[in-house]
Structure 1
Amino acid sequence: MKIFSILLISFLVLGVWSQEFSGMMPDRSCERDADCIGSKLCNARQCRPISSFRKCDVTTDNQCGKEYTCHLGVCRYIPDIFEGQKHSFGPNMKCTHRSDCPHGMSCTKGNCT
């Protein structure tokens, strides 16, 4: 009976391990991109493969839709990008593109305004 229990547990562990690496397990929960592993990004509190995001050009505005912005070449829901950072923005925050700035601000002469 002990051997049967050990074998059963081994198969269960192996099954869960193989499902996780084959993508069958639910995506990992997250609050920010840094919580995700590899090339996954945080979207609606779940780590998702970057390939599941719509591609965009950061130099062109309004291609992702309302409440979304082009960030690092993919369309992102604005609260997902700035979650946990909302208190770190100050006057004259440096930027390269509008997507570097908080929602409602633009990038003017290298500063969020």
Structure 2
Amino acid sequence: MSGRVRVVVYYSASAADPGSVVAAYRRVNGGMRGTPGLLSSQLLRSALDPGEFAVLSEWTGLAEFRAWEEGTQHKGQTSALRSYRDEGRGRGYGVYEVVDEF
């Protein structure tokens, strides 16, 4: 096991303005650079529904992700995306530990 963690957060945009999520992600992503433990972040758009998005981030470990999530900077760093969160999938996010890969 690598100890790395991947976090998926779901977002949705109105059919009239799917670019709003892209713009918000770009604002958030700029402020996330250099966050301790954050290895990468990607914005994914659904190939089936262009109004559905997910942010996939990779962290060095669960402790590093939780330290950021529980820290004072978290809410401010991600505020631009907050109004687009898709809570229709339960909690709207998932935290996954990498157990195997090739």
Smaller-chain TM-score range? under 0.3
Q: What is the TM-score when the length of structure 1 is the normalising length?
A: 0.26
Relative to its length, the structure with more strand (as a share) is 2
The structure number with the bigger radius of gyration is 1
Q: Which has the higher contact order (CA 8 A, sep 6+)?
A: 2
TM-score by length of 2: 0.28
